[in-house]
């Protein structure tokens, strides 16, 4: 039997015995069995004792029942404890077996590691021995090399002394001469390589650029320039001139003071002239005079009213012109202030070329070139359309129209590439993007085409003279000819003092100096001619 169960049963029996003994002692005390009676009890006393005995029996029975229940509970708990102990013993035995297996695995793993460590230590010892042997061999080699180096240094000193004695030069002098010779040869070879690369790149670039520009120009049909500073207004009759002049010239003075435009009335039949260098003001005055002529009533008050209406009408026309330009180019989003400024350029000219027409033409050319180069045509159109926007404010703001236009575009939220193309189209800012380069090209094409702009004879002659002066100022130049209206320069050099490489250098220097000093439409070709002739006489 299980020892735990035996102990539990023994404890239950002992408890039961103790409880029974306690009950008997209590009964004896109540019945007086333990004390001497002096006389026999009366019937009442016997009845009371009998009742007490019955009560004691009931209590003893209840105590015995409770003891039996407690014993059963204790027995049940002891059995549960026995079962739990059995389960714990089984688990302990299983864990013991697992631990024994793990311990065995750990022991075998440690043995394998010890074997590997022993093998590694053996390999390290062998490697250390090999390294030591190698170090000894290297030390011997270094000693041998040092000896040979000393021998070579002694031989070099002897050779150097012999060479110095034979050449009559010291080592430093010979080194300097050799460096100069190598440097000169390297420069010459580098110049030849650069010339070859530049020539190839120029030929390829000119071929592609010519194709792109030719396609762009061929697809743009434009009109020639016909702008002036004078507007002509036709009258229904010569009697209208008297009304315009007014009594003692009152009307003409009021008109000129209100509009700021000179009104010229001469012998031209049925026509008057309006002269002003501001095209917007001249157009406003023309509309004002046209309204007055149609109405027939001309006096100072009517002149002021008609001028105010004409000014509003011109403003609307400017906005409409800007919107028409955007529609023509396919541009949909632009700030209203920029549209108004674009419209104002409708009445402005540059060298006789209408500025708004120039912008639209340049935008078309830039869009075509961008499409040929697989760039964004709309971005190029936007850059080129706005590149002269600063000309609308040049009389109001100090500074270059390129920088003014860039500031205006930046203020009204244009992209940074557009702003850079505007400020760099006259090289006032270093060009950094392809869009800026194409903007310059489109501007030059539109302004440099035949009939686009007028140029005074004096400025034209001065530009040709300056081109020849720049070319003549270089050494070795014999003659200079400005040809094709200043678009090509022929430079004749002396063949005895200038070789082919120096001729290429002269062409590059002349081109760079012209770019820095002069302003011109299109491009100028510089051709350096080096001609050598051999002449003999047969007698």
What is the pLDDT, as a whole number, of residue 34?
A: 42
Residue 375 predicted with pLDDT over 50: yes
Q: Per-residue pLDDT averaged across 501-506, rounded?
A: 86
Mean pLDDT of 399-421: 88
Q: Would you say how long the chain is, in residues?
A: 539
Distance from C-alpha of 518 to C-alpha of 22, rounded to nearest angstrom: 138
* Domain range 230-448, CATH class: mainly alpha
What is the band of 225 on the pLDDT scale with cuts at 50, 70, 90?
A: very low
CA–CA distance, 400 with 390 (Å, rounded to integer): 8
> Out of 3.40.50.2300, 3.40.50.880, 3.30.200.20, 3.30.70.1350, which CATH number does the structure's domain 459-530 have?
3.30.70.1350
230-448 and 459-530: identical CATH topology: no
| Least confident window among 15-24, 66-75, 530-539 | 15-24
Give CA 518 to chain center in angstroms: 34
**pLDDT for 38 beyond 50:** no
Taking all residues of the chain, what is their mean pLDDT, rounded to a whole number?
Answer: 79
Rounded to whole angstroms, how far apart are CA atoms 312 and 283?
Answer: 12
* Least confident segment among 33-42, 145-154, 411-420: 33-42
Based on its alpha-carbon atoms, the radius of gyration of the chain, rounded to whole angstroms, reads: 59
Position 184 pLDDT exceeds 80: no
- CA–CA distance, 403 with 218 (Å, rounded to integer): 32
Which residues are CB-contacts of 14 (< 8 A; sequence separation ≥ 6)?
none
DSSP 103: H
Phi/psi zone of residue 521: left (φ > 0), alpha (ψ -120 to 50 degrees), beta?
A: beta
**Secondary structure element (H or E) that encloses residue 32, with its range:** none
| Confidence bin at 454 (pLDDT 50/70/90) | low
Domain boundaries, given as residue ranges, for the chain = 3-147, 230-448, 459-530
Predicted pLDDT of residue 213:
61
pTM (2 d.p.): 0.45
Which residues, other chains included, contact 510 with Cβ-Cβ below 8 Å and sequence gap of 6+?
470, 471, 474, 489, 491, 526, 528
């Amino acid at each position: 039997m299980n020892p735990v169960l035996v102990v539990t049963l023994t404890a239950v029996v002992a408890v039961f015995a103790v409880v029974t003994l306690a009950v008997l002692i209590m009964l004896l005390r109540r019945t007086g069995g333990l004390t001497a009676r002096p006389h026999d009890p009366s019937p009442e006393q016997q009845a009371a004792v009998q009742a007490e005995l019955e009560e004691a029996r009931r209590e003893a029975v209840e105590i015995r029942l409770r003891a039996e229940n407690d014993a059963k509970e204790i027995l049940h708990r002891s059995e549960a404890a026995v079962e739990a102990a059995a389960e714990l013993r089984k688990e302990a035995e299983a864990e013991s077996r697992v631990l024994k297996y793990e311990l065995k695995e750990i022991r075998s793993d440690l043995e394998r590691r010890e074997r590997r460590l022993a093998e590694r230590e053996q390999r390290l010892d062998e490697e250390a021995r090999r390294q030591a042997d190698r170090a000894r061999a290297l030390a011997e080699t270094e000693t041998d090399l040092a000896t040979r180096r000393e021998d070579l240094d002694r031989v070099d000193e002897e050779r150097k002394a012999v060479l110095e004695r034979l050449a009559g030069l010291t080592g430093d002098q010979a080194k300097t001469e050799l460096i100069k010779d190598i440097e000169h040869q390297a420069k010459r070879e580098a110049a030849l390589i650069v010339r070859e690369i530049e020539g190839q790149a120029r030929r390829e670039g000119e071929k592609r650029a010519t194709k792109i520009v030719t396609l762009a120009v061929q697809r743009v049909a434009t009109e020639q320039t016909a702008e002036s500073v004078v507007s002509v207004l036709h009258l229904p009759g010569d009697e209208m001139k008297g009304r315009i002049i007014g009594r003692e010239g009152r009307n003409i003075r009021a008109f000129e003071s209100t509009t700021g435009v000179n009104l010229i009335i001469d012998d031209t039949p049925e026509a008057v002239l309006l002269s002003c260098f501001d095209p917007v003001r001249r157009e406003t005055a023309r509309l004002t005079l046209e309204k007055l002529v149609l109405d027939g009533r001309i006096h100072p008050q009517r002149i002021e009213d008609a001028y105010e209406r004409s000014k509003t009408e011109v403003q609307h026309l400017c906005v409409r012109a800007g919107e028409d330009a955007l529609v023509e180019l396919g541009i949909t989003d632009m700030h209203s202030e920029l549209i108004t400024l674009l419209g104002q350029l409708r009445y402005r000219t540059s060298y006789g070329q209408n500025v708004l027409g120039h912008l639209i033409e340049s935008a078309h050319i830039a869009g075509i070139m961008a499409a040929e180069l697989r760039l964004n045509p709309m971005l190029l159109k936007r850059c080129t359309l706005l590149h002269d926007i600063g000309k609308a404010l040049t009389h109001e703001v100090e500074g270059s129209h390129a920088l003014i236009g860039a500031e205006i575009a930046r203020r009204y939220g244009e992209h940074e590439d557009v702003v850079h193309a505007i400020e760099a189209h006259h090289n006032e800012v270093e060009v950094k993007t392809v869009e800026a380069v194409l903007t310059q090209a489109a501007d030059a094409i539109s302004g440099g085409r035949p009939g686009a702009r007028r140029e005074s004879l004096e400025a034209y002659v001065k530009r040709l003279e300056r081109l020849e002066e720049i070319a003549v100022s270089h050494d070795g130049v014999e003659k200079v000819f400005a040809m094709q209206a200043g678009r090509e320069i022929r430079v004749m050099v002396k063949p005895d003092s200038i070789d082919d490489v120096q001729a290429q250098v002269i062409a590059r220097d002349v081109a760079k100096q012209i770019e820095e000093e002069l302003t011109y439409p299109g491009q100028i070709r510089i051709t350096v001619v080096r001609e050598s002739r051999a002449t003999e006489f047969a007698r």
